[in-house]
Structure 1
Amino acid sequence: MNIVILGAFGHLGKAVYQLLEPLPNVNLTLFGREKANIEVASTTKVIFGGATSTADLEEALRGQDVVFSTLGPFHVEAFAKPLVETMEKLDVKRLFWTTQFQIKQDEVTAENIALAQTFGFDEETERTYVANQKLGAQIIEGSGLDYTLLMPHFFKYDNSVAKVILQGEDETVKGGPISIYSLAVGLVYLLLRPELYSKAGVIISATE
């Protein structure tokens, strides 16, 4: 299986790469602006470029079976549009698009605003973020791609281990914030099973 990670050198991209790299029968390509604080195996292809450039994306996406995007967190429509265009041009169909667990909710709840504040985000930032994530997801859903909307809870930037909960996009969220490591474990499970959650969203949260 050929998998490309877009935004590969951020926290989540690196965590997913480190779990995928030792696995057999997985050929990895990393795409991002710059490589920092990550050891890359000699068998891994690394491409530097901009995610708003269709020319750069073509180089990264050609011949891939699965595209995993961690692009964002803001102005994601600027990434979604050229990505959809390039994937459709190259006939690369399977996309896992990282977004946010609140995108299917009618409004940002007071509870989630309070939770966002514990992570350092004020109300305006949280509302703007969720609205932009909704816009990006709508672009993906309106495409002809075989997509999955990855809808994780708030990130905890640590390596704590918790039980990962996967739910359908319209379900009530059962878990809470999830560590980058635990999220990466859940994402690897999904990336290796591309038949799951086709043209749907999956909420990803954690419980102790």
Structure 2
Amino acid sequence: MNIVILGAFGHLGKAVYQLLEPLPNVNVTLFGREKEDIEVASTTKVIFGDATNPENLEGALQGQDVVFSTLGPFHVETFATPLVETMAKLGVKRLFWTTQFQIRQDEVTEENIALAKTFGFDEETERTYVANQKLGAQIIEDSSLDYTLLMSHFFKYDNSIEKAILQEEDEMVEGEPISIYSLAVVLANLLLQPERYSRKGVIISASK
């Protein structure tokens, strides 16, 4: 299986890569803006580029079975539109798109605004973020791609091991913020099972 990680040099992209790289029969390509602290296996293909540039994307997407996007967190429409167009052009169908657990909610709740503040986001930033995530998700849903919307809870930048909860996209969220490591474990498993959650979303959180 050939898997490309877009936005691969952020916290989540790196965490998922570390889980996928040792697996047999999995070939991982990393795509993102250049960073100096990248440590990858000699067998891993690394491509530096701009995800808003279709020509850059073509080099990364050619021959891939699964595309995993961690692009964002803001202005995601500038990433979603060229990605959809380039995947369609190349005939690459399977996309896992990271987004946010609130995109199906009509309004950002006061509870979630309070929670966002504990992560360092003020109310305006949180409302803008969720609205932009909704826009990006809509672009993906309006496409002909075989997508999954990965609707994750707030994630904590640590490696704690937590039991994850996976829910249908229209359910009330049962869990709470999830660690980067635990989220990466869930995502790596989903990427290896591309038949799951086809053309729908899945809410991912940690057990309370």
Question: Any stretches of 5+ residues in structure 1 without a counterpart?
Answer: none
**Which residue does the alignment assign to 2:69?**
69
Q: Distance in 2 between matches of 1:120 and 1:78?
A: 25
Aligned to 1:140, what secondary structure does the other structure show? helix
Q: Distance in 2 between matches of 1:74 and 1:64?
A: 26
Is contact 1:176-1:207 (8 Å) kept? yes
**TM-score using structure 1 length:** 0.99
Question: Any stretches of 5+ residues in structure 2 without a counterpart?
Answer: none
Within-5 A mapping of 1:94-109: 94-109=94-109
Is contact 1:14-1:38 (8 Å) kept? no
**Which residue does the alignment assign to 1:45?**
45
**Which residue does the alignment assign to 1:134?**
134
**Which residue does the alignment assign to 1:176?**
176
Cα offset, 1:39, TM superposition: 1.5
Q: Distance in 1 between matches of 2:102 and 2:57?
A: 28
Q: Provide the alpha-carbon RMSD of the alignment.
A: 0.7
Residue type of the partner of 2:144?
G
Residue identity over aligned pairs, in percent, reads 83
**Which residue does the alignment assign to 1:82?**
82
Q: Distance in 2 between matches of 1:38 and 1:159?
A: 19
Q: How many pairs does the alignment contain? A: 208
Q: Distance in 1 between matches of 2:154 and 2:145?
A: 26
Cα offset, 1:158, TM superposition: 0.5
Is contact 1:9-1:36 (8 Å) kept? no
Residue type of the partner of 1:29?
T
Q: Distance in 2 between matches of 1:148 and 1:36?
A: 31
Q: Distance in 1 between matches of 2:188 and 2:181?
A: 11
Cα offset, 1:207, TM superposition: 1.5
Q: Distance in 1 between matches of 2:93 and 2:35?
A: 27
**TM-score using structure 2 length:** 0.99
Cα offset, 1:37, TM superposition: 2.9
1:145-182 Cα shifts (integer Å, max 9, x gaps) = 00000000001001011001111100111110001000
Aligned to 2:108, what secondary structure does the other structure show? coil
Q: Distance in 1 between matches of 2:35 and 2:196?
A: 31
Aligned to 2:96, what secondary structure does the other structure show? strand
1:32-88 Cα shifts (integer Å, max 9, x gaps) = 011343310011000010000000000000000000000000000000000000000
Moved over 6 A (4+): none
